[in-house]
Each structure stands twice: as structure tokens, then as C-alpha cells.
Amino acid sequence: MSYDFRAIESRWQAHWKQNATFRVAVDPERPKLYVLDMFPYPSGEGLHVGHPAGYTATDTYTRYKRMRGFNVLHPMGWDAFGLPAERFAIKTGMHPAARTAQCIATFKRQLEELGFSYDWSRELDTTDPRYYRWTQWIFLQMWGSWYDAHMGRARPIEELPIPDGVHIGGERAISEYRDAHRIAYLHEAPVNWCSDLRVVLANEEVAEHVEAGHEVVRRPMKQWMMRITAYAERLLSDLEGLEWPPNVIEMQRNWIGRSEGAQIDFHVADTSQRRTITVFTTRPDTVFGATYMVLAPEHPWVTELTGSAQREQVAAYVQVAARRSERERQAASAEGHKTGVFTGAYVLHPFTGTELPIWIADYVLLGYGTGAIMAVPAHDERDHAFAKQYGLPIAEVVAGGSCSVQEQAFVGEGKSVNSDFLNGLDTTQAKRSMIDELVRRGLGRARVTYKLRDWLFSRQRYWGEPFPLLHRPDGTIEAVPDDQLPVRLPELDDYSPSETGEPPLAKAKTWRELPDGSLREVNTMPQWAGSCWYYLRFLDPHNDRQAWSKEAERYWMPVDLYVGGAEHAVLHLLYARFWHKVLYDLGHVSTKEPFARLINQGMVLGASFFPRDRRRDSTGKRVSFRPDEVEPLDGDDGQTTWKVRDTGEAVDIQWDKMSKSRGNVISTDDVVNTYGADTLRLYEMFLGPLEHSAAWQQDGVVGCHRFLQRVHRLFFEESPSRGNGEVDIGNDVGNDVGNHVGNHASRDRPRKLPPGEGTLRQRQLLHRTIHDVTERSDRLAFNTAISAMMVFVRDIATEGELLCFEAGRQFCLLLAPLAPHLAEEIWAALGHTRSLAYEPWPAADEAFLDADSFALVVQINGKWRAEVQAPRAASQRELEALARALPQVQSALAGRSSRRVVVVPGRLVNFVV
Ligand code: ANZ
């Protein structure tokens, strides 16, 4: 075979590296474009074909945009702190830094072998002290500021007004007052404590540990928190201007969870208690329907309110609730299962004076609203289920339900009934009227509440950034001075936490204890920290005086396109946006938002095969086979089925997200070694629209490889015998290139292409292709850009016409973003001595674009099948008929009925079968 992709790819990768082809700098003369991939956590397993789907898209896009004249910043780095390296260290004794370096080396080699056009001079690693020095600096910005709610922004803590009452208390009181207002603050918060492993678990880790038989309890611990709630409103309203997928915007909105409602005060009936309990409700119009009250089990007043008769029961309930995470509690409650106990105490209804019993129940959460609710079982489902379970009264106060509220809660809006001065009002009016009345009587007030909680920012782990803070002997906290940053991680022999639950860093005594008696903070930052600002460090990664320069920030920000997995749709993006806003308030960045445009790439699904009636073996382990262990078997019904090659056992195919545990992973190394990086890149993009998930199929890889072979054949002679040191470069051009890229391997002889642009048909074909590839590349619709190029190659071949020089040159440029190695090889063969990375993109000549007709793409199940010229004026019915008449379509549809036909005039017909 003549298309020697191995030689071609290594030659051009070396060339790009030696010539620093993709290195960029600030250049005010040219428009900038900042295209960012979500940087990976370098795991021990290396890359599988699911990883580079997004990276390939951004790389194709940036290569395209460079040719359109943009100064493109396209960097890559490593999000390298985190638990796996630490667990590996505990298991093997290998230092997490050494393990991390190993994993990074693998990832980097693999990414380089895919030919990505990163500016590698900007590579960064979040675990590098030269990086985390600035993560610590940013932390100190947060610690050193407070949120001024009146001005709606963060300000330096020195500007915090100190009330007179605090002044009287002296320095100590002032210092405590400041600490309580900082954006990064210490707080005693309940955490998930795994007593067997002596670690605090993130909420999402709890289930896994409980399943493994470990005990996980909620326990209060002093923790560093970030006051993200202060930014709730801005995080919400600034979503407005972002070009993000609607579902991500929606997820961010839901996570922030803004609710408008009211706080209402209820007096405790036992007047000796002299207490009021404040509740938060979104339905103040239903106050007259409140028949009992519920406190969260952790509510601070539970013990005092509880009567002696109930004491034991209540204490037992509180203890059980403490074992469950909030998430578990919410899930159990959503399933309709409610538990609770009566405290023996009562509150008085603010309008009727009726005594309402106070219960505690774990469907009420301490961290939301006020941690207490008035229960309106007639109009709230949770309250309804609870009232049914414990026989509490249900009183209708909103008319409009389809059945009796005794049977089912009516949660909709309607007219108020049985509600005194609200009777006859509709819900919106009734809410307003109730709030007015509450305010008049001094019993309540309008309130906006957010689901968003402050961010628990400390971890009891080794492999994270140390906090740059000192605990002074007098109990105050002080920042490590700027000139002493970074605070480096100490060396340890043992990375596990201590018996007492103190973090691993507490074991580094000489590191922790300073001569003046101060102690270093021993928690570390969560993995989010490094990824909250890496996009800023990429702007100016070698700056050792500043985290980034103003000049670089002004030029490059915001990120114009950010591509990554949907699993980061909430937390990473929210945390990064929050940090960015604090930095904005303090004058360190000039844009309100970091990521102007966001795309979530779809997942690449891998195949595994399961025996029909034997999903698990006798020991309960999943039975599955890899694609290379099975072979296709044509069934009676014309459907392809599969059997295990060795045993003949019938198996079914199943598509899932690639993961080691499913055994459906395909490593990029395998594909690159067998077919080359250009084939892999092309197939990644051919899989379908970037946002969609798609199944990785070997046939498709082979199809893309054939296409590249065909392209190669358009430009190079077939060379039947190669190797043996034979050099088959016959002309000056080839020699020149050979010298230029310092190549030793043999090269194919370029064809002599006829000069010019060829026949009118060839020109029409070329300019139509330029037009389509351009328009589709602008939309990142690379799958359809590829089909346009496939059509070009096929049509050139079918007419038996020779590709002319000018058409070949322009086609090569179109190919460059998608199959950059082969395109460079062709470009050199055409006589050029420089990389094509910055060649101007070809322009479609309108004169050759036929305005009356267009190339209609015909798809079956969304996959390209054929393309045909169609009149622009054709109706949808005519387009469908035209598509049906094509032989490729007829054979593909033979015997199958199409469920649906999608016709997009001017573009495509898709038969869904
Ligand atoms: C009375 C009521 C009547 C309510 C009614 C709803 C319907 P969102 O939209 O989620 O903000 N609630 C308040 N604090 C709570 C807490 N800490 N834990 C659990 N539930 C809490 O919902 C706010 C509603 O959730 C509040 O309005 C309250 O129930 C409940 F017909 O109050 B409502």
C-alpha cells in the first residue's frame, strides 16, 4: 500500500514541533480567537477514542480559523491533582508527583501523535508549584475580600465597615468580624465522614462507599467555605448573554435555584419559651392551610422544643437522619417515603391563633430557606404524603383541583378559599396581599431564596494545593506573605489520614509548625481549584511576577469557544464563573464572564456483546465479549446478529459510554497504529454532529481510511516497491521538501497534475465544495464538511477526469484542518516549502456556484448515503421523490419501510428506517 501514513505523520509532527508552527503571541494587528478544550485529568489508562472527540473538533476548527487569518490561542494542560494518584500512592508507595508525571507523559505522547495544533509552549500542570503558587494567590484574593451587597461586588476586606458595637470589643472582635465576612471563610459544616477510611467524602462518593460496606456519617467539622451564594444573582443574570447550550443554561439555573417567596414568623405556643420559628415559603397565599410545622432534624432548637415524653424518640430520629446524606434524604423523600416524629411542642397560627404541632422530619433540610416549614398538606405533595402517613389534618385553601385535596394535593394556582381576607383572590394577588399583611403586622417579609449553597472548599487529602494560611498562637489567622508563595506540599512517607481524622499534612510536623508557634493550615484545596482559572494562566503561563499580565488578558479574553463534556455542565462551570467574577470585582480581569461560547461534545459509545440469557456468570460477574472476540451472523429476519468466534454462542450487541469496566474501550494507540492519526481524526469528525453521541464502528474507520487513500492516489503515483533504502523522490520539489523537513523515510512520487483549474464541471465541483466546506466549518459541522469532500473525490474519479493543479491545490487546503498530516504532505508535493498552517483559505467563486440548483444530501438514519443536484425551486415532495429514485437509496431501502422522512429544503433528505 502506498499511503504510508506512519512516515507522513511522524514527519509532520516533527516539523511542527521543530518549527514551533503553532506558537502564538499577542498581536493587536490581527483578530484573536481563543479556543479551549476542557483539560484532562491524566489517568493511568491513557486515551481512548472517546477522549479526543472534542479535541479533534477544536483542533479542526482552529486550523480552519488560522487559515482565515485569526491569531489563534489553542493551549493544552493537565488537571493533575486528585484522588487516583493519591490512592495509587497509598497502595504502592509511589509519590503522587512521580505517578502524575508518568500519566502526563503518556497523555502528552498520545495527544502529540494525533497531531493537535496546540501551542505546547503554554502547557501547564496544576500540580506544578509554579502554577499552584498562583492558585494560592487567587485563594488569598478571596480570603482578603468581602461581598458588599449594596454595591453588588467584592471589595478588599480592609474596606469592610466595622460597626461600633464591634469596635468596642477591640482588635480581637474586629478580626473575628472580618473573618465572618470574608469570601473564603471557616465554618463548621456537616460533612460525610467515613470512619473506616478516615476521610471526608464528597456527596457523590457516599453511595459507592456505603455499598462497599463502610460506615458514612454526617459529622460537623470546621471547613473552609467559599461564599458563592453572594454571587447567586449575578451567576444567574449573566447567563443571559452567553452562547451556551440551552440545557446547560437550564441546569445552571436549576442549580442556583432562585425562589421568590416569604419568611413568616410563628410564635411557639409555650410562652415560657418566648421563641419564634421563621419559615420560608414560596406560597404565602396558603398560610391559612398550614396545619402543622416541620423542622429539619438538625435545626438548632430541636432539643429545647422537645417535650420530655418525646425526648428519646426524637433523639433516635435525629441520629438516624445524621447518617443519611442530604441527597439520599431528598431521593427517599421524592419516592414518597416520609418519616418524622412529633416534638410535643406547638406554634400558634399567626392569623387564627390555632395551635399547630411541631414535627421534625428529614424531608426538611437545614441548609435551605430557614430549615423550617409551615406544612400545607392540601397544596404541597410532600406535606400531603406526610400528613396521610401521620394522620394530620388537610385543609383546602386554593380552589381548582380536579379531586378532593383529601385524596391528592392540588399544587396549582387558583382562587383562595377558607382564607379570610384572601378569599376570592387568585394566587398571584393572594401572595402579594398576604405579604403586605405580614409586613404590616410585623410577622413576615418578602424573601428570595437560592438552592445554591456556599461551596465546601477544603479536603482532608494530600494531593491538592495547600492553603497559604497560618493559624497564630492567639487564634487569629494570617495569610502567608506573597513573597513566600508557593507553600509547597511537604514530603510524607504515608499519605493516609491520621487516626483522629486529621488530614495527612498534619503528619508533616516540621512543615506544619513554624518557629513563632504558628501552625500551617493542613487541609488542601479541592480538585476544582486548579481548573477554576487555568484558562487565565494559559494567557501568560511563564509569568513569574503575576498570574497573568493585563496586556495578555485584555487581548485574549474571553474564551471564544470552550468545548468539553456535559458532566461539567454544572459545577466546574459554576465555580469557574464564580472565581472569575470575584477577580473581575477586584480588577484582575476585564470580562464579566470567562466563556463566551460553550459546546458539549457527545459521547463516543463502544460496543460490547452479551450472551442472550447469561448476563452474569455463576459468581455473579458480568459476562461480556469484546468486538474482536465475536463475528457477525446474518439472522433469518435479515438482521445482523453476532456469535462468539470460539464457542459459537449467540450474543447481543450493546452500546455504552466507553469504560474500562465494560470492556468496550478502544485505545487511540490501536487506531493510530493501524490506520493513522488522520484517519482517526477524520472518523471522529465523521461520526456525526459534535453535540451528538455516536457509536464507534470499525467499518466507519476503514471507510475514512479508504477515503484518505483515495485522496493520496489523486496526488501521488502508486509505488509498488518500497523500502530497502530506496528513495523514490524523483524531482526537485520532492528533494526540496525532503531536505526541508529533515526526512529520512522514502516518499511517494507526486503526480504531475495538469495545470489550471480544469473543465467547467471541475470548477463547479471545486467551488461548490469550497462553498460547502467553508459554510460547514464555520458551523463546526465537520461531518457534513467531510461528506462534501468525499463527494468531490468521488465525482472527480467517476468522470475519469484528471485533477488539475489549481483544483488540487485548493482541495488540499480544504483538507488541511481535517487531515492535517496528509494535507501537508500533498502541499509539499505541490512544491511548497512552508507549512500550509497559515495559508489563506480558498474562496468560492460565485461565478461557479449554480444558484438554481444545489447538492441535495440524502441520508438514511442520519448517515450520508448519496448526494444529487436538485433544483432550488423543488418542493419537499419533489425532493423526496428525487432522493428515492437514486439507486443507492433504492438498494438501501429495499424491503424496509421508512418510518419518517425529514426534508430540509436546500440541504437534505433523511429517511428514518
Ligand atoms: C408552604 C407551602 C405551601 C409550600 C404550598 C409549597 C407549596 P422551592 O420552590 O424549592 O424553593 N421548603 C422550604 N424550606 C424547605 C426546607 N428547608 N426543606 C424542605 N422544604 C422546604 O420550594 C420552597 C417550598 O419548599 C416552600 O414553600 C416550603 O414549602 C418548602 F402549597 O411552604 B412551601
Summarize pLDDT for 808-835 with one digit per residue, the tens. 999 999 999 999 999 999 999 999 999 9
- The Å distance, Cα 382 to ligand 1 centre, comes to 9
Give the pLDDT score at 648: 85
**pLDDT computed for residue 742 by the predictor:** 41
Higher pLDDT, 151 or 196: 151
pLDDT of 758 reads 80
From the list 523, 516, 463, the residue with the least C-alpha distance to 492 is 463
What does the pLDDT read at residue 723? 41
Q: How remote is the C-alpha of 266 from its chain's centroid?
A: 43
Nearest residue to 46 via CA among 692, 668, 764, 561: 668
Question: Which residues pair with residue 389 across a beta bridge?
Answer: none
Residue nearest to atom 7 of ligand 1 (CA): 380
Strand partners, 293: 358, 374
Mutation test residue for ligand 1: of 278, 291, 379, 380, the one with most atoms within 8 Å of CB: 380
Ligand 1 residue neighbourhood (C-beta within 6 Å): 259, 280-283, 286, 296, 364-365, 368-369, 371, 373-374, 376, 379-380, 449
CA of 261 to the centre of ligand 1 (A): 9
pLDDT digits (tens, 9 = 90+) for 18-38: 999 999 999 999 999 999 999
Label residue 660 exposed, middle or buried (CB < 10 Å: 0-12, 13-18, 19+). Answer: exposed
Confidence of residue 639 (pLDDT cuts 50, 70, 90): low
Angstrom CA distances, 512 to 458, 471, 535, 781, stand at 17, 10, 32, 54
| pLDDT category of residue 738 using cuts at 50, 70 and 90 | very low
- Residue 850, pLDDT above cutoff 90: no
pLDDT of res. 334? 74
Residue percentage of the chain with pLDDT more than 70: 95
Backbone phi and psi for residue 255, each to the nearest 5 degrees, phi listed first: -65, -40
Mutation pick for ligand 1 pocket among 258, 373, 382 (CB with most ligand atoms within 8 Å): 373
- Tens of pLDDT, residues 106-144: 999 999 999 999 999 999 999 999 999 999 999 999 999
What band does 898 get if pLDDT is binned at 50, 70 and 90?
confident
**Cβ-contact 836, 816 below 8 angstroms:** yes
Write the pLDDT tens digit of every residue in 522-540: 999 999 999 999 999 999 9
Instruction: Give the count of alpha carbons within 13 A of 368, CB side only.
Output: 19
Residue 558 has pLDDT above 50, yes or no: yes
Residue 466, pLDDT above cutoff 60: yes
The pLDDT assigned to 692 comes to 94
Indicate whether 791 pLDDT > 90.
yes
The pLDDT-based confidence of 725 (bands split at 50, 70, 90) is very low
Spatial CA neighbour of 64 closest among 112, 26, 117: 117
Alpha-carbon distance of 60 to 815, in angstroms, equals 10
DSSP assignment of 181-231: HBSEEEEEEEEEEETTTTEEE-HHHHHHHHHTT--EEEEEEEEEEE-GGGG
Cis, bond preceding 887 (omega within 30 deg of 0): no
User: Measuring from atom 14 of ligand 1, which residue has the nearest CA?
Assistant: 369
SS3 state of residue 401: coil
Please say if the pLDDT value at position 722 is more than 70: no
What is the per-residue pLDDT for 607? 87
Q: Would you state the pLDDT for residue 71? A: 98
Instruction: Tell me how far the alpha carbon of residue 373 lies from the centroid of ligand 1, in angstroms.
Output: 7
Closest ligand 1 atom to Cα of 375:
1
Strand order in the sheet with 199-201: 199-201, 184-194, 216-226, 455-456
Which numbered atom of ligand 1 lies nearest the CA of 378?
A: 31
CA-363 nearest atom, ligand 1 = 19
Full-model pTM: 0.85
Q: Which grid cell sits at 911?
A: 429517511
Cα angle: 819, vertex 596, 820; to 5 degrees: 10
Q: In DSSP terms, which residues pair with 192 in a beta bridge?
A: 201, 218
**pLDDT higher than threshold 90 for residue 64:** yes
Residue with CA closest to ligand 1 atom 2: 283
Select the more confidently predicted residue: 771 or 800: 771
Task: Name the average pLDDT for the chain.
Answer: 91
The cell numbers describing 831, all together, are 512544491
List b or e across 523-552, with b for residues whose CB sees 16 or more CB atoms inside 10 angstroms. bbbbbbbbbbbbbbbbbbbeeeeebbeeeb
- Give the mean model confidence (pLDDT) for residues 465-473: 97
Distance in Å, CA 106 to ligand 1 centroid: 51
- Is the confidence at residue 16, as pLDDT, over 90? yes
Q: Is the peptide bond before 558 cis (omega within 30 degrees of 0)?
A: yes
CB 860 within 8 Å of CB 889 = yes
Whole-number pLDDT of residue 87: 87
pLDDT at 201 over 90: no
CA distance 554 to 432: 46
pLDDT category of residue 438 using cuts at 50, 70 and 90: very high
Tens-place pLDDT, residues 748-775 = 889 899 988 787 778 888 999 999 999 9
Any residues with CB less than 8 A from the CB of 91 and at least 6 apart, and which? none
pLDDT in tens, 79-114: 999 888 988 888 898 999 999 999 999 999 999 999
| Centre of ligand 1 from the C-alpha of residue 371, in Å | 10
Residue 281 Cα to ligand 1 midpoint, Å, equals: 5
Closest residue to atom 29 of ligand 1, CA basis? 281
Residue to probe by mutation, ligand 1, list 264, 283, 362, most atoms within 8 Å of CB: 283
Distance of CA 376 from the midpoint of ligand 1 (Å): 9
Beta partners for residue 399, in sequence order = 415
Minimal-distance CA residue to ligand 1 atom 21: 364
According to the model, what pLDDT value does residue 741 have? 42
Ligand 1, atom 1, lies closest to the CA of 281
Nearest alpha carbon, ligand 1 atom 27: 281
Q: Is the pLDDT of residue 457 over 60?
A: yes
Q: Is the pLDDT of residue 696 over 80?
A: yes
List Cα–Cα distances, 387 to 374, 394, 442, in angstroms. Answer: 12, 7, 29
What is the enclosing helix (H) or strand (E) of 449?
A: strand 444-450
- Tens-place pLDDT, residues 215-271: 888 788 889 999 999 999 999 999 999 999 999 999 999 999 999 999 999 999 987
Range with the poorest average pLDDT among 86-95, 198-207, 395-404, 461-470: 198-207
Out of 114-123, 443-452, 721-730, 749-758, pick the least confident: 721-730
- Please report, for residues 12, 30, 443, the alpha-carbon distance to residue 725 in angstroms, rounded to integers and kept in the order given: 20, 46, 93
Using the mean position of ligand 1's atoms as its centre, give its distance from the Cα of residue 280 in Å: 7
